[in-house]
């Protein structure tokens, strides 16, 4: 039952993020437009490729306990070729940097990974 609650929470985070994004885009918010431009520039491949930057984003998301950030970064990292092992190492760095609170935050990150990689395995079959 615990896993189902996490899945529901992850689905709600995703729904909420997408709804807020659509609303802010529709509003014509100049601040949100600049935020999206910043995001695009930050994740553009330069010295570091996009996947590496998303793995770093995963670590930071766990340290600051941003659930929606964890969900987005993990899904995007996986979509950009990150493996479960690479994401685990990113989470381990977060635990090292964030201590006990990061261990608690990592629980959601691990649940998101379960959903992402189970869905990938289902599509591959």
- Domain hosting 14: range is 2-124
What pLDDT was estimated at residue 102?
Answer: 86
The total domain count for the chain is 1
**In CATH, what number is assigned to the domain containing residue 99?**
1.20.1290.10
Q: What is the pLDDT of residues 84-119, one digit of tens each?
A: 999 999 999 999 998 888 888 888 889 889 888 988
Residue with more model confidence, 37 or 6: 37
Whether residue 24 is predicted with pLDDT greater than 70 in this model: the reply is: yes
Using alpha carbons, select from 60, 108, 120 the residue that is nearest to residue 84.
Answer: 120
Spatial separation of the C-alpha atoms in residues 120 and 125, rounded to whole Å: 9
pLDDT score of 21 more than 90: yes
Tell which residue, 78, 47, 45, 72, has the closest CA to residue 57: 72
Whether the pLDDT of residue 42 is over 90: the answer is yes
């Amino acid at each position: 039952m615990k896993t189902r609650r996490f899945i529901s929470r992850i689905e709600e985070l995703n729904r909420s993020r997408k709804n807020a994004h659509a609303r802010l885009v529709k509003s014509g918010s100049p601040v949100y437009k600049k935020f999206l431009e910043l995001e695009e520039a930050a994740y553009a491949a330069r010295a570091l490729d996009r996947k590496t930057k998303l793995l770093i984003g995963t670590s930071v998301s766990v340290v600051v306990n941003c659930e929606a950030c964890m969900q987005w970064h993990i899904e995007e990292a996986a979509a950009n070729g990150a493996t479960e092992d690479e994401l685990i190492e990113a989470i381990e760095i977060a635990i090292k940097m964030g201590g006990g609170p990061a261990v608690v935050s990592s629980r959601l990150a691990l649940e998101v990974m379960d959903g992402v990689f189970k869905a990938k395995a289902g599509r591959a079959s």
